A and B are shown apart, each in its own frame.
Chain A
Amino acid sequence: MTAVLSSHGLVARYGDFQALYGVDISVAEGEAVALIGANGAGKSTFLRSVMGLLAVKPDMVRLDGQPIGGTPTDKMVQKGVAIVPEGRRLFTGMSVEDNLRVAIDQADRLGRKGGWTMERLHKLFPILKDKARTDVQNLSGGQQQMVSIGRALLSQPRVLLCDEISLGLAPKVIREIYAALPEIRAQGTAIILVEQDVGLAQSASDRIFCMLEGRVTLTGASSAITREQIAEAYFGGSHAVV
C-alpha cells in the first residue's frame, strides 16, 4: 500500500533534550496504525512533530510523498491532517455546537471537502445532538472525547492522529468511542492511534509500532505480533505482559 503520511528519520527535541531518534512510521489510506509504548517513549512527541507543533526538518514528514515537516499546524489542517489531542483540548466556555462549528468554519475557509457533516457526526455520536447547547465544561469525559473526535473529523482529514483517546474513560465509553473508528476508516481516512492499552491497540489497528525511548523497537501486523514480542519491545528486555 502507498503511504499517505510517512516519517523518515524523524528527529525531535525539546530544547537540549532529544525525544525522537530517527523514527520511520507510515500509514496508508484507510489504514489504522497504532503506536504503543511506555510513558516517555515518544508517542505523543511523534504526533506533535507530525502536526507541526514541534520544529522538524521538511523532509522528515511527507504527505503523498511531498515534504511537509515543520509546516505550521493550521496549514497541516489545510493539507488534510487533523489531531484528537491528548487531554481533549476543547474550547471551554463554548457550547458543543460552537466547538464543532469552529471546525466546520475553518474547513469551509480552507476549502476542505469531505463527507463529514454535523448530521453524520450526530449519527456517529447521538449524545452530541442532545448536548448541542451544553457548555463543553459540563460534559462527562467520554462526551468531551466525542466532541474532540468530532471536531477533528469535521476538518475533513485524510489522516487522523489520535492521542490516547481512551485515557481516563470508563470501559463502556471506550468501547463506544472505538466502535466509531471503522466508520472513520471506511471514509478512506488513515488513522495513527497512540494508545497505552496494548490489547485495544492491537484490536483497533492493522499494524503496530512499538516505541521505546524515542525509537521504534518493533513493527508488524497487529494480528501477527505476539505478546512476548511486544513485551520485549515495550520494556527493552524479556518481560511478560501483565
Chain B
Amino acid sequence: MQWFDALVQGILLGGMYAQYALGMALMFGVMRIVNVSHGDLVILLSLIGISLASNFGFGPFTVMVALVPLAIALGWLLQRAVLNKVVGDDPLPSLIATFGLSIALQNMMLQIWSANSRSLPGGGIESQSIQIAGIYVGLLPVLVLGFATALTWGLDLMLKRSRFGRALRAASADVEAASMTGINARAVYASATAIAVGILGFAAVFQSLRSTVAPADGGAQLIYAFEAVIIGGMGSVWGAFIGSMVLGISQAIGFRLDPGFGVLAGHLVFLLVLAIRPQGLFGKV
C-alpha cells in the first residue's frame, strides 16, 4: 500500500512540475529558446502574488485572476525587449541573455522582498484532504494536477489545431521560410512567450500555496522544468507532462526509500533516460 501511496503522491507532485515544464516545453522544446530565467520568473510571480494577497487581502483565486494577465504581459515584454534580439539558430545568445536576466531578477527580488521565505495563505485549502481509493490525498495537489492536465490539453490543442499553433510550429522549423508565407515570426514568438510565462502565473499561485518561496529558489524550478521536458522529449507538450510525472514518481519513490534520496532519485532517472533514450520518451530521433 505504501508504494501505491508513493505512486499517487508522485503523480500529484508531477502535476506541479508539469506547470513549470509546460512553459519550458513551449520555449525550449518548440521555439528552441533556452530561458535560464524560467524558475526566477515563477518565484517573481509568486512573490508578486503574495504581496497582492497581503496588501489587498486577495484570496488565492483572485490572486490567480490578477497574476495570469500580468504574467502574460511580462512574457510578451520579455520576448519583445530581450529574446527577439537574440533568438536564432544558435541557442547560446538566448542562454547568455536569460542567464543575465536571471541574476538581475534574483537581485531585484532580494532588494524588494529580502531573502526571507514567504507563502500565500490559502484559507485552509492547503491542509484539506480527500480520500481516493483508500488513501488520503491533499485537495491542493489534486487541484494542481487538474489544472496541469487542463493546461497541457489546451496547449497541445492550440499547437496542433489553431492558426497561431501552426504559425509557431512553422517559425520554429524554419523562421526564414515562415516569413515567406507571411508569418511575422517575432510577433508569433512574443505571443508564444506570453503564453509560456502566463502558464507560470498558474504555477506561481500553486507553488506559493503548497510551500514557501524565496528569491533564490528559482534554480530548482528551472532544473525540474528542464528535466521534465528532456525526459518527455523536445517538442512534445504531452511528453513534458509525462516527463513531469516520471520525475514526480521517481522523487516520491526515492523519498520512501530514504528521505534524503528523493530529489537525487529524480536526477538519476533523468540521467538514465538521457543515457538510454537521448531524444526523450516521446521525442523523435
Contacts and interface: CB of A to CB of B under 8 A. Distances in A.
Interface of A: 51, 53, 72-74, 77-78, 82-83, 85, 89-94, 98-99, 101-103, 105-110, 112, 151-152, 155
Contacts of B180: 51, 73, 77, 82-83, 85, 89, 152
Interface stretch (B50-58, B93-101, B166-174): B166-174
A106 B176 contact: no
B167 to A, nearest CB: 6
Contacts of B170: 91, 94, 99, 102
B183 interface: yes
Contacts of B177: 85, 89-91
Nearest to B284: A93
Nearest to B187: A74
Tell me the interface secondary structure of chain A in the complex: helix
Contacts, number: 72
A102 B176 contact: no
B124 interface: no
A74 B182 contact: yes
Contacts of B169: 91, 93-94, 98
B284 A151 contact: no
A117 B228 CA distance: 41
B274 interface: no
B235 interface: yes
B277 to A, nearest CB: 18
Contacts of B179: 72-74, 77
A77 B173 contact: no
Contacts of A92: 173-174
Given A91-B169, A93-B284, A108-B163, 9 more contacts: A72-B184, A89-B180, A93-B169, A102-B166, A105-B167, A106-B167, A109-B182, A110-B182, A152-B180
Nearest to A137: B284
Nearest to B164: A105
Interface in B131-146: none
A85 B183 CA distance: 15
A152 B235 CA distance: 26
B173 A109 contact: no
A126 B220 CA distance: 53
A90 B183 CA distance: 14
A103 B284 contact: no
B66 interface: no
Contacts of A107: 182
B1 to A, nearest CB: 44
Given A94-B169, A109-B163, A102 B174 contact: no
A94 to B, nearest CB: 6
Nearest to B184: A74
A51 B167 CA distance: 19
Contact of B176 (A77, A89, A109, A110): A89
B8 interface: no
A96 to B, nearest CB: 13
Contacts of A53: 176
25 contacts: A72-B179, A72-B184, A73-B180, A74-B179, A74-B183, A74-B185, A77-B181, A78-B182, A82-B180, A85-B180, A89-B180, A90-B177, A91-B170, A91-B173, A93-B173, A93-B284, A94-B169, A98-B169, A99-B170, A102-B170, A105-B163, A106-B167, A107-B182, A108-B163, A112-B182
